[in-house]
Structure 1
Amino acid sequence: MSQEIWLGIDPGLAIVGWAILQEHKQQLPIIIDYGTIETNKRLSTSQRLIEIEADLRELLTEFTPQGIAIEMPFFNRTIKAAGGVMQALGVINLVCYREAKIEPIFLHQASWKCHLGDGKANKKEVAQMITTLFNLDRSPIDDSVDAIAIAYAALCGLRNNI
């Protein structure tokens, strides 16, 4: 019986964090790989979205996940980047369905953070929790750390689909 593979995504226009986790019966999931898709701020939004699309297609082809979980961003009125992030989120959603026939689940930030133990944890605290939980030699310090936690929460069954 094959073990499920999940892709966790922390969306953004400048940086998309991603992580691939594989289910492991009777134990914690295994982190297969993680990283970021980074776009050049000097490019137009359309060019940056094309870059996200191409890189995400490569990830889906390489790892063929059975599930995809994406953080649903929360914005207050002062966030200027909201428009770009929401456009990136739309492209990510489209590519996941078009390329892998998977409708991603969307998780609230507080819910996947609660799954780790603290719904208000900052990025450094999330990195510490992930490092401890998965017994990593070094702590992921970029946007991929949230993606690891998102994939982990989804693989463990968290659903608050929006």
Structure 2
Amino acid sequence: MTYKTWLGIDPGLAILGWAILQDQGSLTPCLVDYGTIETSKTLSTPQRLVEIEKDLIWLVRNFQPDGIAIEMPFFNRQIKAAGGVIQALGIVSLVSYREGNIEPIFLHQSSWKCHLGNGRASKQEVGEMVQRLFDLKKLPINDSVDAIAIAYAGLSGVRNEIQ
């Protein structure tokens, strides 16, 4: 029996959250693994992007996802990190297609959060919902938690028309 495996990505240049979920035919998918890719601010942006690329290549080759869901970040005019995040999104798209022949889906934050029950949930609330959903004893409240929820939304069929 073939199961669908999804990689969820919460993009960032300093910290990129990732999670692997597998649909095993039950009501709740299996949380296979999750974590973060962290890059040092002492490195140049191109060096940080190469680090993200290497780690993503390993994830795609190791877990061979059938689908990849990425949060499409929302930027206001005051955010300074937008350029780095946009470049990291490009690396994620590149690796997704080159290594897995997958065109990733992009989800608005409110879409994947609504899938958990609250489109305006805080990071703490998302963590609590993910912890209950996957019956986890302990879960770090970091970017990997959002990635779990993003993978869950992608695996469950949540879509936005973002090209």
Task: State whether TM-score is above 0.5.
Answer: yes
Q: Report how far residue 161 of structure 1 moved.
A: 3.4
Alignment partner of 1:23 is 2:31: no
Separation in 1, partners of 2:6, 2:94 = 17
| Equivalent residue number for residue 121 of structure 2 | 121
Shift of residue 139 of structure 1?
Answer: 2.0
Alpha-carbon distance in 2 for matches of 1:46, 1:26:
42
Q: Specify the alignment match of 1:47 in structure 2.
A: 47
In structure 2, how many angstroms separate the alpha carbons of the residues matched to 1:9 and 1:16?
7
How far apart, CA to CA, are the structure 2 residues paired with 1:100 and 1:161?
A: 21
The residue aligned with 2:91 is 91
2:72 is aligned to: 72
**What is the Cα-based RMSD across aligned positions, in Å?**
0.7
Structure 1 runs of 4+ with >6 Å offset = none
TM-score (norm 2): 0.98
Residue identity (%) = 67
**Number of residue pairs aligned between Structure 1 and Structure 2:** 162
- Which deviates the most, 104-113 or 132-141? 132-141
User: Could you tell which deviates more after superposition, 133-142 or 66-75?
Assistant: 133-142
Aligned to 2:139: 139
Quote the Cα distance in structure 2 between the aligned partners of 1:60 and 1:123. Answer: 26
CA distance in 2, matches of 1:140, 1:153: 20
Cα distance in 1 between the residues matched to 2:34 and 2:40: 20
Structure 2: give runs of 5+ residues left out of the alignment: none
